[in-house]
Chains A and B, each alone.
Chain A
Amino acid sequence: MSEITIEHLSVSFTRRRAGAFAALQDVSAHITPQTFVAILGLSGSGKTTLLNVVAGLLQPTSGRVLLDGRPITGPGSDRGVVFQQDALFMWRSVVKNVEYGLEVKGMPRAQRRALAEHWLTVVGLKDFAHFFPKELSGGMKKRCQLAMVLANEPTTLLMDEPYGALDYVTKCQLQDELLALLHTTPKTTLFVTHDIEEALYLSDRVLILSRGRLIADMPVTFDSPRTNDLRLSPEFAIAKQRLWRSLDGATQQRPLSLTGLPASIPEQP
């Protein structure tokens, strides 16, 4: 099932000179199973910190995060994480990378090879199974990471600005592939991004973080399946403008007024 409950979550770091620094302050949210939630914010807003706490890589200073009612105590294979960097084991071939999680589970060799090849086919990397990561393009590396995570069959997918460094067209392709994939195997997804369009296009709901606080929580109600035409529609542009304003308001340090903003972003007519 995997529903995520974030309760009064605060995280602070100590820095050598500056003392304590609050990366997240009193963030609460409830994420229903199999929804796609985008976490939008500028750099330094605490969105990666939030993701790392859910991943179990970071310990909260106060508050807690529950996964299906159980507190998160560390990383686990029920939550697959796609990192911002090209986190691939450079010394393993593509298929061996995908097998890694299955190896950890102790799956026999033949079985894990078959499963890895299945997931490579799903992400379209079947022909590159025996290549080293250095021989892949940026987009292919992202696909490989996704296959690596999916092979573990997690119930939750955590993605940290995965497509940040890609060119626009590749980024759009990968977004469509991700949506198609989640359509066939639905998962609760947290997707961290600073790209307004990406957040809108992919998600069912957008959380906006600013300076470690949750400042907005908006449902996104465009129809699915979503296609590239949506990106060019007027409704999309209006929704984009609204998100932009709330991000902009956050940067200008004046209290954000949500008046005039609808509670949800409208459905496509």
Chain B
Amino acid sequence: MLATSRPHRQRRALTYHIASLVALLAFWWLLSYYTNSAHIIHGASALPSPLSVLNAIAGLSVFLAPGTPTTLAHGLAALWQNTLVSAERLLGGVLLGAAIGITAGLLLAWSKLVRLLVQGPVLLVRTIPLMALVPLFLAWWGGTSFGILAFIAFAVFSVVVISTVEAAGNVPPELVNLARTLGAARFRIYRTVILPAIVPAVIGGLRVVIGIGWALLLAGEYLGAQNGLGHVLIMAEDYLYTARMALIVVMIMVYTFVLDRLFTLAADWITRWMPKD
């Protein structure tokens, strides 16, 4: 707190970190052991043990095709297949939303008239809690992949368009003036000054959406998809396969972590020209 990051404290912090993970795992295991003997609902434990979560992979085979033998390989294949479906919706939505958001944002930054005209409706739509909009997208497209993709794209768009307009307004005027004195015309200034200058802000906006990306995807898939991880989760819940539910949650945690790491790596590389505070 008082800016005292002494080396021995850092070393001890790492010990605590590792200890906390071990404790968490042990706690989970013990708790599942006791609840298993006490609380069994329709043959499923209320809190599956870590081991039974791993064992649940094979059970996913049923999602491949009716009559597929229950093996680990088939389970992994089913997991992979549904992951791909979900990832496609998520990444497709993010890319589509970001592309439209940046383009629209630049257009708005270009013209004050359009900006003022669009300001009101954008504010109106933006105040609606994002997840409350899921039913609307479902009603329009049903539980189709495109409906979920469109929902995520809309969420990304609504965040990116605002950060683009704000960032374009915050480009240091001396950079625009510099380009003008070097003879650049308006379109060139947009392409070579405004566009690169807003990249960090757009990435910041994207980071926020990607952080809740899986939550948005689940909200979409939860309410009516025919495949994908959200669908597997809902089916597992219907039949009270708690180990399978826990498996999906753990997989989503892993994906969130991996996606966040990859995004951070890419973002750091793209904005490597930025001074670090």
Contact = CB atoms under 8 A, between A and B. Distances in A.
A152 to B, nearest CB: 6
B190 to A, nearest CB: 14
Interface of A is mostly: loop
A91 B273 contact: yes
Interface residues of A, number: 29
B175 A75 contact: no
A149 B182 CA distance: 7
A65 interface: no
Please indicate which of the listed interface residues B177, B181, B273 has the most CB atoms of chain A within 10 Å of its own CB: B181
A55 interface: yes
A85 B70 CA distance: 68
Contacts, number: 71
Given A91-B273, A103-B192, A104-B182, 18 more contacts: A57-B181, A75-B177, A76-B183, A77-B183, A81-B177, A83-B174, A83-B178, A85-B172, A87-B177, A87-B178, A89-B192, A89-B193, A90-B273, A91-B197, A91-B199, A100-B182, A101-B183, A132-B272
B188 to A, nearest CB: 7
Please indicate which of the listed interface residues B172, B174, B196 has the most CB atoms of chain A within 10 Å of its own CB: B174
B274 interface: yes
Interface of A: 55-57, 74-77, 79-81, 83-85, 87, 89-92, 100-101, 103-105, 132-134, 148-149, 152
Contact of B273 (A79, A81, A133): A133
A20 B179 CA distance: 29
Interface of B is mostly: helix
Contact of B177 (A57, A90, A103, A104): A57
Interface string B164-205: 000000001011011111111000100011001101000000
Contact of B181 (A81, A84, A103, A132): A81
Contacts of A100: 179, 182, 184, 192
